[in-house]
Amino acid sequence: AQSVAQPEDQVNVAEGNPLTVKCTYSVSGNPYLFWYVQYPNRGLQFLLKYITGDNLVKGSYGFEAEFNKSQTSFHLKKPSALVSDSALYFCAVRDGPGSARQLTFGSGTQLTVLP
């Protein structure tokens, strides 16, 4: 069985400071990992993914995520937060190759960037 956990419901950070949104996962094989962002009254948008290769993955809007196999984590990061980054962020995981049907989403983390 696969699962994903986002331990923080809410993250607050000051504009210009670095931000981290945490995600841990559990799979039996090799994980496929994803981050999606949901702006108010909008659908989810794909940010980035890790399938294989470099542990540091770069995505849209200056976001990046670091895959750490030993800690089973895939934390989302950005060096300098913007107020416009305020949104709901979802981590998702799949146990190896397959289809999007098999994605498991976390419960989401609300990021608020304070001016």
Partner 1 sequence: EAQVTQNPRYLITVTGKKLTVTCSQNMNHEYMSWYRQDPGLGLRQIYYSMNVEVTDKGDVPEGYKVSRKEKRNFPLILESPSPNQTSLYFCASSSRQGANTGELFFGEGSRLTVL
Q: Which residues bind partner 1 (CB under 8 A)?
A: 9, 32, 34, 36, 41-46, 49, 51, 90, 92, 94, 97-101, 103, 105-108
Smallest CA-to-CA distance from 26 within 1, 57, 51 is with 1
Phi, psi of 100 (to 5 degrees): -65, -20
Q: Using the minimum distance from each CB to partner 1, give the nearer residue, 5 or 15.
A: 5
C-beta of 15: minimal distance to partner 1 in Å? 27
Q: Report yes or no: 78 and 65 within 8 Å, Cβ to Cβ.
A: no
Q: Toward partner 1, which CB reaches closer, 60 or 80?
A: 60
